[in-house]
Every structure is written in structure tokens, then in C-alpha cells.
Amino acid sequence: MRIGILSDSHDNLVNIEKAVKTLNQFSIDLAIHLGDYIAPFSIRRIGELLKTRLIGVFGNNDGDKYLILSNAKTYGFEIYDSPYMLNIDGYSILAMHGYSSKEFTKSLIHSLCLSGKYDVIMYGHTHEVHIEKIGKSLIINPGEVFGYLSGNASIAVLDLDGLKTEIVKL
């Protein structure tokens, strides 16, 4: 199974289109968005383009959760409060946005890895690409779709067969 991972789109419709079209080219089976869609129209644009289902979590900047959820349901998408635990093909996956500072978020991720409960921990919020293995946990931060904070727009593709991860620049 191939999972497309994106985060921190922050209403950048141009990069949202690039991200979703790229995910479609990878023939993913599932997309996971790690929060900070921002406005409800962003999830609508994802829904208009994405050729698979999406599971997501809310980020700290997602304001109108009611309309975001309403738009998500129109496309059969599921969005939950962060963190959200999934079991996919026998893998325990934690999807979350992040909290407070970058340092706090990274410290939290490290502690979650040490718990030994998760095969994969996906997070956003920092707008920085991060791929690392700690214990049995593979950490994935796809960076940001937005592209303005880091100067780079990117997504990730995870192949559960071997837990191979690829960062794709937009």
C-alpha cells in the first residue's frame, strides 16, 4: 500500500493542486493530511482533484472546523482531532499535527517513539522535512505544501512494503 502524506497547505491553492496532482501520479491508495488546511475551500480543492480517499487531522491554524468537516464529508474524507491512530495493513500509525514550538513537537515525537507503540509516526507543524528511525518507529514529516515558510514545498510518499519513504519536492 502506498500512502501520500501532506501537511501545512495553508490555503496555497497553487501548491495544493501541485501536491494532489503529484500524489495522483504516484497512484497512492490513501492520502493523509497532517493539518493546517486553514480555510474550508482548501479541503474542497483537494476533494475536486484527489483520486483516492483522505484521512486527516486538524492543525493549530484550522479555524472553521465545522465547514472544513462539511467539505471533507462531501468527498468522503475523514478529518479528526490530532493525534489520530490508524491501523493500516497491520502497521500502527500515529498521525498528528504538532504542538507549541518546534522543539516541543520534536521532543514529543521522540518520546512517542520511545514508547514502542507505533510503527510510523507522521507529523507536521514544523514545516520541515524529517525522516528518521528511532527504535521501531519511522518518523515522517513531509515538510510543507505551503512553501513560504521554509522556502520549499514538499510531500512524502510512504510504501508500506518495506516502509520506504520518498520526499517529493513540488
pLDDT in tens, 84-120: 999 999 999 999 999 999 999 999 999 999 999 999 9
- Going from N- to C-terminal start, the domains of the chain cover 2-169
pTM assigned to the model: 0.97
**Residues near 39 by Cβ (< 8 Å), separated by ≥ 6?**
11, 63, 64
User: What confidence score (pLDDT) does residue 68 get?
Assistant: 97
pLDDT tier at 135, thresholds 50, 70, 90: very high
Peptide bond into 142 cis (omega under 30): no
Q: What is the mean pLDDT of residues 67-72?
A: 97
Task: Give the tens place of pLDDT for each residue, 144-169.
Answer: 999 999 999 999 999 999 999 999 99
Q: What is the mean pLDDT of residues 58-69?
A: 96
Structural domain 2-169, CATH architecture = 4-Layer Sandwich (3.60)
Q: Is 90 left (phi over 0), alpha (psi -120 to 50) or beta?
A: left
User: What confidence score (pLDDT) does residue 38 get?
Assistant: 95
User: What confidence score (pLDDT) does residue 53 get?
Assistant: 97
Average pLDDT, the chain: 97
Q: What is the mean pLDDT of residues 39-67?
A: 97
Backbone angles phi, psi at 107, to 5 degrees: -65, -40
Beta bridge partners of residue 169, listed in sequence order:
154
Q: What is the mean pLDDT of residues 29-58?
A: 98
For the record, the C-alpha cell of 41 comes out as 475551500
User: What confidence score (pLDDT) does residue 32 get?
Assistant: 99
